[in-house]
Amino acid sequence: MSRNIRADIKMELRMMLADVLPLCPVTSPDFNDIAIAWIGKNAARFRKKWERYHNGKKEYIVGN
């Protein structure tokens, strides 16, 4: 896995935690359900960046 994709994944995780933690702390039994819902909602954005990377445009995409 490239460093750019690893950085993207880490950024996505930070974004998820920043959005989800105020609603539901990690120690809450509902956290996983809320986190999975967030991932489902935001997966398209990440998939678009992933596909751009793997379709030969090996560049870091910001904001799309």
* For the chain, domain boundaries: 3-54
If one counts every other C-beta atom within 10 angstroms of the C-beta of residue 2, the result is 11
The model carries a pTM of 0.52
Distance CA 51, CA 49 (A): 6
Would you list the DSSP string of 1-64? --HHHHHHHHHHHHHHHHHHTTTS-TTSTTHHHHHHHHHHHHHHHHHHHHHHHHTT--S-----
pLDDT in tens, 7-52: 877 888 888 888 888 888 888 888 888 888 888 888 787 777 777 7
